[in-house]
Amino acid sequence: MTLMDLKDVTVRAGGRTLLQDVNLSLNRGEALRLFGPNGGGKTTLLRLLSGQVSPTGGQRTYVLNGVKQKSAVQARRTLSVVGPDAEAFYLTRDWEQTVKDVLLAAHEGDTLKLWEATPEAEARLAEVVTLTGLEPLLERDFRTLSHGQRRRVVLARALMPRPEALLLDEFTDGLSVGARTELGHVLRGVHASGVAIVLATHRPEEAPELPWRTVRVEGGRVQEQKATPPPPPASLSLPIPPGAGDLIRLRDVEVWRNGTRALGPLSWTWEAGQHWLVTGENGSGKSTLARLIAGELHPALGGQIQRPYLQRDLLTERRRTVGIVGAELGIRQRRDWTGQDIIGSALHGTEGFTPELSAEELEKVTNLAAQLDLLDLLPRHAETLSQGQLRRLLLARAVLNAPTLLILDEGLDFLDAGSRARFLALLPGLARRGTHVMVIAHREGDAPDGVTHHLHLDGGRIVQVSQLAAAK
């Protein structure tokens, strides 16, 4: 039986055509995999299926609970896109919502828990928690969770209203091998129960083993096609940056977030001439370490962080000399900032907004955008961009000032193969000019050759520090 049917559907927003003449059906219990380049329309297609956006032409039909309907009201209450945008609401608000609150609210198709849960909701909560393994996190504030833990919660949230389809946007990005395996097992169980699954991904080889029907989405058009593995990345190696002395010194550092220790105690030094690979399971403290180095987080009393490479350790100086890209940065972007605003904000140590750029500054932004094939994104507002397009802008922002420290916290997530290759090609030149790189990654392929040192975290603590062959 057909769950959703699109006939000659077009979607336009902001004067742009995002999808055009799309014909696509999703059947009950089907596994549908979407792939294609950044900006091709995958995220828009997921939002169209979930009822978040409406067609400007053509016809969208649902058959939910056996009832045929053109209205998206029921779809909006029972279907949600599981991806970074699903996390943003809770991370950009100042009030506390526990994992339990987030799940119970979703049972009624809402975002906030504003009432006492019914026995039916409590029973469904118990089922979903058992299925997704969230029992240890139920009382945790959502904002204190790691990237991988948040992904698990938003998956559970999507399951609470007993949906007939799950819509997943770049679901495997940001997840460790262990987390991908565990959640892949969950998804296979969900699919076996008769729930349809739609997965948009740049990494089709990481999709759980399901009987996928594969569709390519490119240029706003949809075509059934076999998924092809991305070409092997071009060979490149990071040269040793010039300089001497310590860049970062951590001494007996602990970081606490909303009453939970996220990092430490640990002591560690980043010296000039070193590029670092940081690994660890989801929740091990990797992103907290990155944000501590960048000055977004601060150590608890008794711990100390020093940045000897700076003459004045001020927020504006850190923002000019540390380029950082991660999940939290993408979530914080204001919806009315343009691509030019996002990249240009690096020049003044701000985030997203910037004073009017001088002719010289505008030329600098434009030249880098041309190198990274971003010129068409400069006038676009953040709310119109896919996750991949936004990530490409944030990577450009991170390297605009040729920073002393470049921290890529799963920074290449959401990128197609071409975009990854263009960005990585910049790194050797930056290193020769003095940029020291830290790559936080779950995939060995995301760390270029030339990384000199390896730091492995577990439970917020250092369990291994080693020198790699590149530095010997």
Residue 233 lies in a domain: no
Q: What is the CATH number of the domain that holds 372?
A: 3.40.50.300
Give the residue among 399, 144, 86, 133 at the shortest CA–CA distance from 261. 144
Q: What is the pLDDT of residue 15?
A: 81
Q: What is the CA radius of gyration of the chain?
A: 22
What's the sign of the alpha-carbon dihedral 295, 257, 174, 26?
negative
Phi-psi region of 259 (alpha: psi -120 to 50; beta: other; left: phi over 0): left
| Domain assignment of residue 426, yes or no | yes
Pair 99, 137 in one domain:
yes
Question: CB-based contacts of 442: which residues, under 8 Å, 6+ apart?
Answer: 174, 175, 176, 177, 279, 410
Confidence (pLDDT) at 208: 87
What pLDDT score was predicted for residue 156?
93
Residues 139, 197, single domain; the answer is yes
DSSP secondary structure letters along 1-48: -EEEEEEEEEEEETTEEEEEEEEEEEETT-EEEEE--TTSSHHHHHHH
Residue 227 structure tokens: 């998924």
415 is in which domain, residue-wise? Answer: 246-471
Distance, in Å, from the CA atom of 169 to the CA atom of 360, rounded to the nearest integer, reads: 38
pTM over the 0.95 mark? no
Mean pLDDT by 10 residues, the chain (472 residues): 92 88 94 90 92 93 89 85 79 83 88 84 94 90 82 91 91 77 87 93 84 92 76 77 95 89 95 95 90 94 95 88 88 80 90 84 96 94 86 96 95 88 94 96 79 94 87 50
Q: Are strands 16-27 and 2-13 parallel, antiparallel or unpaired?
A: antiparallel
Do residues 168 and 83 touch, judged by C-beta distance below 8 A?
yes
Q: In terms of domains, do 215 and 264 share one?
A: no
Statement to judge: residues 188 and 321 lie in one domain: no
Residue 445, both tokens:
């392929």
- What pLDDT does 369 receive? 97
Same-domain pairing of 379 and 331: yes
Q: What is the pLDDT of residue 231?
A: 64
Please state, in angstroms and rounded to a whole number, the distance separating the CA atoms of residues 437 and 277.
Answer: 9
pLDDT at position 246 is: 97
**Closest C-alpha among 196, 103, 199 to residue 154:** 103
Question: Which pLDDT belongs to residue 151?
Answer: 84
- How many structural domains are present in the chain? 2
Residue after which a domain boundary falls, among 172, 191, 224: 224
CA of residue 71 relative to chain centroid, distance: 31
101: three-class secondary structure by DSSP: helix
Is residue 212 located within the same domain as residue 263?
no
- Same domain assignment for residues 301 and 390: yes
pLDDT of residue 471: 52
Torsion angles phi and psi, residue 172, rounded to 5: -85, -15
Q: What is the per-residue pLDDT for 228? A: 66
